[in-house]
Amino acid sequence: MTIDTQGPVTTTHGQERAEDASVVGRMANYLDERTSLSGAVKFLGRKIFPDHWSFMLGEVALYSFVVILLSGTFLTFFFQASMSEVQYDGSYIPMKGVEMSAALQSTLNISFDVRGGLLIRQVHYWAALLFVASIGLHMLRVFFTGAFRKPRELNWVVGFLLFVMAMAEGFTGYSLPDDLLSGNGLRIIDGMVKGLPVVGTWISYLLFGGEFPGTDIVGRLYTLHILLLPAIVVALIGIHMVLLIINKHTQFAGPGRTNDNVVGVPIMPVFAAKAGGFFFIVFGVLMLVAATVTINPIWNYGPYDPSPVSAGTQPDWYIGFADGALRLVPPGWEFLIGPYTVSMNIIVPVLALLVLLGAVAAYPFFEAWVTGDRREHHIADRPRNAPTRTAIGAAGLTFYAALWAAASSDIVATHFRLSIESVIHLCQALLIAGPFVAFFVTKRVCLALQKKDREIALHGFESGRIVRLPGGEYIEVHQPLSEYERWRLVSYEDYQPIMLRPDRRGRITAGMRARARVSNWFFEDRISPVSRPELEASQHH
């Protein structure tokens, strides 16, 4: 259209303007004339990032992933994803001559014959553990501050997928060295898959390329571990970041901060320096741990063999909840339908885990349905100010914790000299009753804290100083708040239960009824923020 006539003009203008003679200036000009990079710098360079310690959890996850990529790439140069049998001939004497797979031998070689190899293996492993842990904590932060609300629901789902992918990456990696523990982990996977109705036998058969363990599984998991899953993770991180830029970061309530602004430091230079520095700190701390703390000493475990005992071994922490779910099934949950075996002792725990994960993924949409709130929310809630949500989170965490504790039932039993049966029964009770108790207690605590905030907002802090009034009465002196301090206590959203009213066509549908019931459960107990008249009244006596 008009491009042709305007093109040459802007080019000459550009050349004239970019008279910066310094090397950097000329390089920048060179790049910009070929890429329009200046647009991106203009758009991103001074974007504002709010600051809070809990916002760093996501950063930790990102940085540990970078560490994983770097260390993992180094490992690929030495690791052999093959299950063909070899006789170990590396330099670790106790294993000399032992029959093992090439995968285990190459992992032993990384540990004993590649200088710095053990260090990189350990960095990779510790970074993996930190990666999953920081994603988990980051999710909890987002959940308990309500940062998943509109417009960020989709980014919550992306983050959730990252969490699942991280666990998958961890499990596939754990299986690669083909040592006793990783083989045992695969055995359990095989058994679980076989227990699935109709398709289980065949899926296991296809997965392992024949009967368990076969000679294919390590190679297949390797392709997933270093190609497919990392590509998905990188793509998801990309989407996560783009949405973060579009939605901008949430911020906690504070004086001057509103739902319509972002207050913080610009990317260039302060945030870049802080975040870049923080990357090096995370990397450095991981190095420090890897240099001093041994992890996964495969040379003590030896090659996989279906027969030896491995009492007291534990899966990586993030798989624990799945292992625990298997342990908590009461005896006898398996029956026949005609000639077919239905393994409820596997189907039920698998379903329970899927329901738990599904509930996590769907929560933002559920809450949006309950509140009917279509506005954008950019102010992070303090957890106490959303008592029901916080209580739901606590209940979910308790459920997870019970499963997780069950995965260590044998260790708990031997450590505290209890019988294994009583520990399992305890965990079962915790799994069923725990979430209800946690819900109730958390909700009460939140409401109590809100009441306390109200008190403080209206009457100031208790100073601890007692004075005697002329009439002989003792009172405690309250120290008034500044309006800035007060603002943090009084600025929060408050919802009320839905009033069930017929819609435009005069009907009350079952859906409306359900929503009214849930809304009532959600918001029946609520503490409203202090209003201006209340504050004025309290200041006038």
Partner 1 sequence: MADTIRDASGTDSAGEDTGTERETGVHSTSTSTEVETRSEAPGTAVVRPDAIPNPGFPPERLRVTDLDPREEKKAERAVSLWFGLGIFGAIAAVAVYVAFPLGNGDPDVNRWTTFGIGMGIALGLLGIGFGAVHWSKSLMEGHDLVEQRHTTRGSEETRARAVEVFSLGNKESGFSRRKMIRNSMIAALVAFPLPGIVLFRGLAPREDPNELLKFTMWKKGTRLTRDPSGTPIKASEVTIGSAFHVIPEGLNETEDRLEEKAKAAVLLMRLRPQDLTISSGRESWSYDGIVAYSKICTHVGCPVALYEQQTHHLLCPCHQSQFDITREATVIFGPAKRPLPQLPIMVDDQGYLVARSDFREPVGPSFWERENS
Quote the CA–CA distance of 300 and 179 in Å, as a whole number. Answer: 9
247 binds partner 1 (CB under 8 A): yes
198 binds partner 1 (CB under 8 A): yes
- Number of shown-chain residues binding ligand HEM (CB under 6 A): 27
Q: How many Cα atoms occupy the beta-carbon half-sphere of 324 within 13 Å? A: 28
105 binds ligand HEM (CB under 6 A): no
Q: Which of residues 145-204 bind ligand HEM (CB under 6 A)?
A: 166, 169-170, 173-174, 176-177
CA proximity to 383, closest of 439, 306, 442: 442
Q: Which of residues 451-490 bind partner 1 (CB under 8 A)?
A: 482-484, 486-487, 490
Q: Which of residues 512-541 bind partner 1 (CB under 8 A)?
A: 519, 523, 528-533, 535
Q: Which of residues 248-287 bind partner 1 (CB under 8 A)?
A: 248, 255-266, 269-270, 273-274, 276-285, 287
Q: Which of residues 491-510 bind partner 1 (CB under 8 A)?
A: 491, 493-499, 501
Q: Which of residues 381-420 bind partner 1 (CB under 8 A)?
A: 409-410, 420
107 is in the binding site of which of ligand HEM, partner 1, none (Cβ under 5 to 8 A by kind)? ligand HEM
225 binds ligand HEM (CB under 6 A): yes
- Are 406 and 424 in contact, with CB atoms under 8 Å apart? yes
Pick between residue 132 and residue 456 the one whose CB is nearest to ligand HEM: 132
DSSP string, 381-401: PPGGGSHHHHHHHHHHHHHHH
35 is in the binding site of which of ligand HEM, partner 1, none (Cβ under 5 to 8 A by kind)? none
For residue 396, what are its two tokens?
Answer: 């979910």
Task: Using CB positions, name the residue nearest to ligand HEM.
Answer: 173
Beta bridge partners of 476: 466
- Are 210 and 143 in contact, with CB atoms under 8 Å apart? no
Task: Give me the long-range contacts of 511-520 (CB less than 8 A, separation at least 24).
Answer: 515/369, 515/370, 518/370, 519/370, 519/371
Contacts of 359 (CB under 8 A, 6+ apart): 396
Cα angle 235-162-273, degrees, rounded to a multiple of 5: 75
314 binds partner 1 (CB under 8 A): no
We find the least distance from the C-beta atom of residue 192 to partner 1, in angstroms, to be: 6
For residue 279, what are its two tokens?
Answer: 């990357």
Pick between residue 274 and residue 459 the one whose CB is nearest to partner 1: 274
List 72, 159, 195, 396, residue binding ligand HEM (CB under 6 A) = 72
Three-state DSSP class for 152? Answer: coil
For residue 393, what are its two tokens?
Answer: 């989170």
Binding-site ranges for ligand HEM (CB under 6 A): 65, 68-69, 72-73, 75-76, 79, 107, 110, 121, 124-125, 128, 131, 166, 169-170, 173-174, 176-177, 225-226, 230, 233, 296
